[in-house]
């Protein structure tokens, strides 16, 4: 059995990009692996958060994990700040990483561009993420494509530590899906679909109403040549819609292109809207039930206990290998 770990930030607006790139893999992997799924609240405070909203979003993400099919009987679901090992290991790893490699992270460059100074937490974000992963002797990390660089630096740090301090860590691998690994914004198919974009029609959130889903898809940016075919360079908008269609329907992009040969964008978009609405109906229904249930907090408390048992073992090994304590 392999150990799987992943996390989602509790920042609201969980969208179909998060679902198709990451959450969908969580469900699939839990059948044959030991899976640990975290709500990474400490990552979310790298940018300012409203405390009340943050608490609400933590429970929202926990409920969404389960609504899409993560089963707390099979997988561990817990909140990052409930297990102190994340912060503890993060410091140890901070001492094993370099400002040069952190400065090269595209996420940091994007978020600090044009500013004279940026929050230190944004700079050290990848170290906390490496701590999340290495704390659980993780073999596989299911994430979207945008996390490739973060997985790479985590591996580099693990290999570096293993070299110096015996074999302390398991070196993990990222797992990226073909269809869905990078869902682009509906209003601008050259940038990734994001929780924080101002235009609500740039994304489809998992809890969006049917009318909103249709509106966002119908007004999505395409092009003027009118042909439905996959071409990321020339036709990024249509290609993104084809990817979404394929990820939700299970049909290959080639099959979909044949099916819609000679059709206009309008009909294609209408059917994509229907497929998307249908896929999200059960998720919304499950979410509403789970979010209101008394059980939700107990699941997180139990998850944190189970996660902590694994984390404590790793921290003991880290302290022994580094010579910390006595």
Binding flag, residue 143, ligand ATP (CB under 6 A) = yes
CA 107 to chain centre: 14
The residue at minimum Cβ distance from ligand ATP is: 21
Query: How is residue 197 written in tokens?
Result: 């974009």
Q: CB 24: neighbour CB atoms within 10 A?
A: 20
Binding flag, residue 217, ligand ATP (CB under 6 A) = no
Q: Which residue pairs, CB below 8 angstroms and at least 24 apart, start in 119-123?
A: 119/46, 119/47, 121/45, 121/46, 122/46, 122/47
> How far, in Å, are 95, 159, 203, 217 from residue 318 at the CA level?
13, 14, 42, 49
Binding flag, residue 314, ligand LTN (CB under 6 A) = no
Query: How is residue 23 written in tokens?
Result: 């959450």
Binding site partner of 183, from ligand LTN, ligand ATP, none, Cβ cut-off 5-8 A by kind: ligand ATP
Binders of ligand LTN among 105-164, rule CB under 6 A?
129, 132-133, 141, 143, 147, 150
> How far, in Å, are 80, 115, 256, 266, 311 from residue 305 at the CA level?
12, 41, 46, 51, 10
Binding site partner of 192, from ligand LTN, ligand ATP, none, Cβ cut-off 5-8 A by kind: ligand ATP
Binding site partner of 132, from ligand LTN, ligand ATP, none, Cβ cut-off 5-8 A by kind: ligand LTN
Give the number of residues in contact with ligand ATP, rule: CB under 6 A. Answer: 18
Between CA 79 and CA 58 the distance in angstroms is 8
Binding site partner of 150, from ligand LTN, ligand ATP, none, Cβ cut-off 5-8 A by kind: ligand LTN
Task: Identify which of residues 18 and 276 has a Cβ nearer to ligand ATP in the complex.
Answer: 18
So which residues are the catalytic ones? Answer: 111, 192, 195
Identified binder of ligand LTN from the candidate list 15, 24, 43, 203, rule CB under 6 A: 43
Closest distance of CB 38 from ligand ATP, Å: 10
Of 123-131, 190-198, 233-241, 276-284, which part binds ligand ATP (CB under 6 A)?
190-198
Binding flag, residue 25, ligand LTN (CB under 6 A) = no
Query: How is residue 202 written in tokens?
Result: 């740039």
Binding flag, residue 269, ligand LTN (CB under 6 A) = no
Binding flag, residue 172, ligand LTN (CB under 6 A) = no
The residue at minimum Cβ distance from ligand LTN is: 7
Q: CB 102: neighbour CB atoms within 10 A?
A: 17
Q: CB 240: neighbour CB atoms within 10 A?
A: 24
Site string for ligand ATP, 146-185 (x = CB under 6 A): xx---------------------------------xxx--
Binding site partner of 133, from ligand LTN, ligand ATP, none, Cβ cut-off 5-8 A by kind: ligand LTN
Adjacency order of strands within the sheet including 140-142: 76-79, 33-39, 2-8, 140-142, 173-175
Between CA 63 and CA 293 the distance in angstroms is 9
Binding residues for ligand LTN (CB under 6 A):
5-7, 9, 40, 43, 129, 132-133, 141, 143, 147, 150
């Amino acid at each position: 059995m392999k150990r799987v770990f992943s996390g989602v930030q509790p920042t609201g607006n969980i969208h179909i990009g998060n679902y198709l790139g990451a959450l969908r893999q969580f469900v699939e992997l839990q059948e044959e692996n030991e899976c640990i799924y975290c709500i990474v609240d400490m990552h979310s405070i790298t940018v300012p958060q409203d405390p009340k909203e943050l608490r609400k979003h933590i429970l929202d993400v926990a409920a969404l994990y389960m609504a899409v099919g993560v089963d707390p009987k099979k997988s561990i679901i817990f909140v990052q700040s409930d297990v102190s090992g994340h912060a503890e290991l993060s410091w140890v790893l901070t001492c094993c990483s370099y400002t040069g490699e952190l400065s090269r992270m595209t996420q940091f460059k994007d978020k600090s561009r044009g500013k004279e100074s940026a929050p230190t937490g944004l700079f050290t974000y990848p170290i906390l993420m490496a701590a999340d992963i290495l704390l659980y002797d993780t073999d596989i990390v299911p994430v979207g494509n945008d996390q490739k660089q973060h997985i790479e630096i985590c591996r580099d740090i693990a290999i570096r530590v293993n070299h110096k301090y015996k074999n302390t860590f398991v070196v993990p691998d990222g797992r990226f899906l073909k269809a869905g690994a990078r869902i682009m914004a509906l209003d601008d198919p050259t940038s990734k679909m994001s929780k924080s974009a101002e235009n609500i029609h740039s994304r489809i959130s998992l809890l969006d109403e049917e009318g909103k889903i249709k509106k966002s898809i119908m007004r999505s940016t395409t092009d003027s040549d009118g042909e439905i075919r996959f071409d990321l360079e020339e036709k990024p908008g249509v290609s993104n819609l084809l990817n979404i269609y394929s990820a939700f329907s299970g049909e290959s992009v080639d099959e979909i292109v044949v099916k819609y040969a000679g059709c206009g964008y309008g009909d294609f978009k209408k059917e994509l809207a229907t497929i998307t609405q249908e896929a999200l109906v059960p998720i919304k229904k499950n979410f509403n039930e789970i979010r209101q249930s008394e059980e939700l907090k107990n699941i997180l408390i139990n998850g944190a206990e189970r996660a902590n048992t694994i984390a404590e073992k790793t921290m003991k090994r880290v302290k022994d290998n580094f010579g910390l304590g006595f």
